[in-house]
């Protein structure tokens, strides 16, 4: 395995590259752009890279389906870090282009919902076509394929473009969450401000099936931060669920919730427990009564005494 190489959704100049460069360890790694999320993750599976940084969630559009589907299928991988990056777009054009001359625009599909209102108000007749990434859209503008691309302003210099309009976003404080993914190993130690990600498959479709899954978390006081259904490919109505939960697999409440899911589900894929970006233990809400590790241990000890006739 190449321990000195990180891959990311490329080409150069993507928001993913900008997010990756915020990690201290990125300064000592070779950063290799890949043409797609699957290509970036497959390089890790093949041992050609130690880790890959890929987008997984956007505060406007929700989950990035390409990443969720890749993590749910194929050889297992694990999330070790997450990065939150504020997102604002620039309309990048070739030098000399005027706004009235922009007839075709491009960008990543996830970008479109974040600039839809701006497009309607400023370029109502422009034709949108999706690109593999925002930076790839900038490259296509450089080649003359499109008139303009929505990308990070930092990508302009890389592709010989100029920002015609900056700070474009329909939603204030828009963010994208990225995850650093590697081969499965022991999770890092709990920090008190952690997140656990899993993918859960339903055993069969019946009334209350999803509720049964959610109760495994609820009765143990585990808060869910994301739940998104994804088709399994086995036919209409067959779904799995990507779930992010507060806490660490080493926390008794989280560990027991996962064991409960494993008992009732045909398949549960553990995607990792890792520190939450931008959150410390002081920021985490107090646990509900009866859900701390101390209380779980006390209940377990009580049960043992009952079984031994010492209650």
Number of domains in the chain: 3
Token match 């931060």: residue? 225
Q: Which residues are CB-contacts of 291 (< 8 A; sequence separation ≥ 6)?
A: 220, 221, 222, 253
Q: Are residues 178 and 192 in the same domain?
A: no
Handedness of CA 235, 236, 242, 243 (dihedral sign): negative
Residues 180 and 32 in one domain: yes
What is the 3-class SS of 231-261, one letter each residue?
Answer: ECCCCCCCEEEEEEEECCCCCHHHHHHHHHH
159 and 25 within one domain:
no
**What pLDDT does residue 2 have?**
65
Same domain, 75 and 153: no
The model carries a pTM of: 0.88
pLDDT of residue 23: 95
| Residues 199, 212: Cα–Cα separation, whole Å | 15
Looking at 133, 168, 203, the residue that finishes a domain is 168
* Domain endpoint, select from 136, 154, 184: 184
pLDDT value of residue 45? 97
Are residues 180 and 82 located together in one domain of the fold? Answer: yes
In the listed set 184, 214, 243, which residue is the last one of a domain according to the structure?
184
CA gap 275, 196 in Å, rounded: 9
Task: Please indicate, yes or no, whether residues 59 and 4 belong to a single structural domain of this protein.
Answer: yes
Is the domain of 117 the same as that of 79?
no
Indicate whether 72 and 180 sit together in one domain: yes
Q: What is the mean pLDDT of each run of 10 residues along the chain (311 residues)?
A: 84 93 93 95 96 93 90 95 94 96 94 92 95 92 97 94 94 91 96 97 84 94 94 80 96 96 94 95 92 94 93 70
Strands 104-107 and 127-130: parallel
Q: What CATH number should be reported for the domain holding residue 19?
A: 3.40.190.10
User: What letter would DSSP give residue 145?
Assistant: S
The reply to whether 197 and 300 lie within a common domain is yes
Residue 279 domain boundaries: 186-310
CATH code of residue 292:
3.30.70.260
**Cα 242 off chain centre by:** 10
**Which conformational region is residue 275 in: left (phi greater than 0), alpha (psi within -120 to 50 degrees), or beta?**
beta
Tell me the angle at which helices 252-264 and 209-218 cross, rounded to the nearest 10 degrees. Answer: 160
| One domain for residues 1 and 25 | yes
Residues 213, 230 within the same domain = yes
Is residue 29 located within the same domain as residue 17?
yes
And the tokens for 89?
């777009």
Is residue 259 within 8 Å of residue 251, measured between CB atoms? no
Nearest-angstrom CA–CA distance, 40 and 27 = 19
């Amino acid at each position: 395995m190449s321990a000195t190489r990180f891959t990311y959704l490329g080409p150069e100049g993507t928001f993913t590259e900008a997010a990756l460069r915020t990690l201290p360890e990125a300064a000592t790694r070779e950063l290799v752009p890949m043409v797609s999320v699957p290509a970036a993750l497959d390089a890790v599976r093949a041992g050609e890279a130690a880790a890959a940084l890929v987008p997984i969630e956007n505060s406007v559009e929700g989950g990035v389906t390409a990443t969720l589907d890749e993590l749910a299928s194929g050889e297992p991988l694990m999330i070790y870090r997450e990065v939150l990056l504020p997102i604002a777009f620039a309309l990048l054009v070739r030098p000399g282009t005027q706004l009235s001359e922009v007839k075709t625009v491009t960008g990543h599909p996830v970008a479109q919902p974040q600039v839809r209102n701006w497009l309607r108000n400023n370029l109502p007749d422009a034709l949108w076509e999706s690109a593999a990434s925002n930076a790839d859209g900038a490259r296509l503008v450089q080649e003359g394929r499109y008139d303009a691309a929505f990308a990070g302003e930092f990508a302009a210099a890389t592709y010989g473009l100029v920002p015609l309009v900056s700070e474009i976003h329909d939603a204030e404080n828009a963010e994208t969450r990225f995850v650093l993914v590697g081969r499965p190993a022991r999770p890092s130690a709990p920090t008190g401000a952690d997140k656990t990600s899993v993918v859960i498959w339903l055993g069969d479709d019946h009334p209350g099936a999803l509720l049964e899954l959610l109760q495994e978390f609820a009765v143990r006081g585990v808060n869910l931060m994301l739940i998104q259904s994804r088709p399994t490919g086995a036919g209409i109505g067959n779904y799995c669920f990507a779930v992010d939960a507060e806490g660490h697999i080493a926390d008794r409440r989280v560990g027991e919730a996962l064991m409960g899911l494993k008992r009732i589900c045909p398949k549960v894929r553990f995607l990792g427990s890792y520190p939450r970006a931008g959150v410390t233990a002081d920021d985490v809400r107090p646990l509900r009564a009866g859900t701390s590790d101390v209380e779980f241990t006390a209940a377990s000890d009580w049960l043992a005494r009952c079984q031994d006739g010492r209650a």
